[in-house]
Amino acid sequence: MPHRVVITGMGALTPLGLSVADSWRAAVAGESGIAPLESFDAAALDVRFGGEVRGFDPSQYLDRREVRRTDRFVQLAIAAADEAMNDAGLAKGDYDANRAGVSCGTGIGGIETLTEQHKTLLERGPQRVSPLFIPMMIANMAAAQVAIRFDMRGPNMTTVTACASSAHALGEAFRRVQYGEADVMLAGGAEAVLLPLCFAGFINMKALSQRNDDPATASRPFDLERDGFVMGEGAGMLVFEERERALARGAHIYAEVVGYGMTADAYHIVEPAPDGDGAARAMRAALRDAGLPPESIGYINAHATGTPKGDTGEARAVHQVFGAHAAKLAVSSTKSMTGHLLGAAGAVEAIFTVLALHEGVLPPTINLHHLDPEVDLDCVPNEARKQTVDAALTNSFGFGGQNVTLALRRTDA
């Protein structure tokens, strides 16, 4: 029999705050984490704002030597992992190290290190490139460093599927516990891409909002006047645990993970399938895996980034899957507040979905003043809503048409 899997701890650093509690409080309040960039001089760019994790001090988590030897995306992952493990009440020695693992997603990995060392190569020559360049830059290093930190010697993996990366990481962690390959999995994702090179690439793709005059209103999923996504950074980590083990140790259980679906559009390298077919199949797969009828879902945390094609494609997918029940669903995009955290988005949005179930509060879609008539959904506009739901989905879709849906259930549902 498959094992039941529950969430017993969570950690996050987002443009809304340096913890789960701070990020959730701001999300429920409908606050925006989008502001003019402070980490570098963006004057030469057409887009000069984003979702920065402000006030983060890696020396609170790592000693000075470790800070120098880790990329920012790894530092964010470690900080989120620390919070998640503390929240779960777990430390080294509380679990069989050989049956505890890490699953971490990132879309791009250590690009800050890559750009710095490339500059060193050009300006100072190959002999001055750091011998730690490769282990600081490669995408698997967040999962590796977190495993070292917590002595987790079981399953260890890194998923790199663009904006679906950390959702895939959560789904694979769920499977490892469900299939009995691990008792505990620390899973999530991290991204740190607020750099001139990344902005230039997305700007030249015409993918980003250009509302420099009012950044706080720039991220506007489902709104008729949306003009692109807003780039952000951050990390989210969750502790997945076998249910009977969690109950036996008296752990606080936030929610149960019940379904995981993944598909490919096989359509285009950046555009989603316009009919939403891939997204619809991912949602159906998650529901089937969970053994839940569509009518049992009360809330969807949408992938919706604020791009014209992406938002309408996802809305079409929701209508395909839920039919008449779509009119009774609440569907919101927390990217309206955090911006798009790329490879970390799925994990952070899973945390928001867990808390929506646990707290009975649905986070809003802010900046939604003119709902796109092609969406035709209850998008929880501008203000959070007190509402108890028994089960929810969270969607993550990546460039290349890689789609993930996770199904979560309230513990007493």
* Domain shared by 175 and 120, yes or no: yes
Asked if residue 304 belongs to a domain, the reply is yes
Q: Could you give the strand order of the β-sheet that contains 234-242, starting from the edge strand earlier in sequence? A: 156-159, 100-105, 184-191, 234-242, 5-13, 255-264, 402-410, 391-398, 297-301, 330-332
User: Which tokens sit at 232?
Assistant: 């952000």
CATH code for the domain in which residue 320 is found: 3.40.47.10
Residues 164 and 234 in one domain: yes
The structure tokens listed for 70 are 């880790």
Same domain, 170 and 317: no
Domain ends where: 224, 248, 272? Answer: 248
Q: What's the mean per-residue pLDDT of the chain?
A: 97
Query: Is there a single domain that holds both residue 230 and residue 327?
Result: no
Of 225, 248, 271, the domain-final residue: 248
Count of domains forming the chain:
2
Position 1 scores a pLDDT of 80
Residue type, 87: D
Given 248, 276, 310, the domain boundary residue is 248
Q: Model pTM?
A: 0.98
**Of all residues in the chain, what percent are helix, strand and coil, respectively (each to 5)?**
40, 20, 40
Same domain, 194 and 47: yes
Residues 215 and 348 in one domain: no
Query: Is 265 in the same domain as 146?
Result: no
d(CA 271, CA 309) in angstroms, rounded, equals: 7
Same-domain check for residues 93 and 154: yes
Nearest Cα to Cα of residue 286 among 323, 308, 260, 306? 260
- Mind telling me the catalytic residues? 163, 303, 340
Whether residue 325 lies inside any domain: the answer is: yes
CA atoms within a 13 Å half-sphere pointing along the CA-CB vector of 187: 37
Residues 318 and 274 both lie in one domain: yes
Could you report the per-residue pLDDT of 347-390, keeping only the tens digit for each? 999 999 999 999 999 999 999 999 999 999 999 999 999 999 99
Torsion of CA 206, 212, 214, 219, to 10 degrees: 30
For residue 56, give its domain range. 5-248
pLDDT digits (tens, 9 = 90+) for 188-232: 999 999 999 999 999 999 999 999 999 999 999 999 999 999 999
- Closest by CA position to 176, among listed 228, 104, 121, 110: 104
Contact 343, 143 (CB under 8 A): no
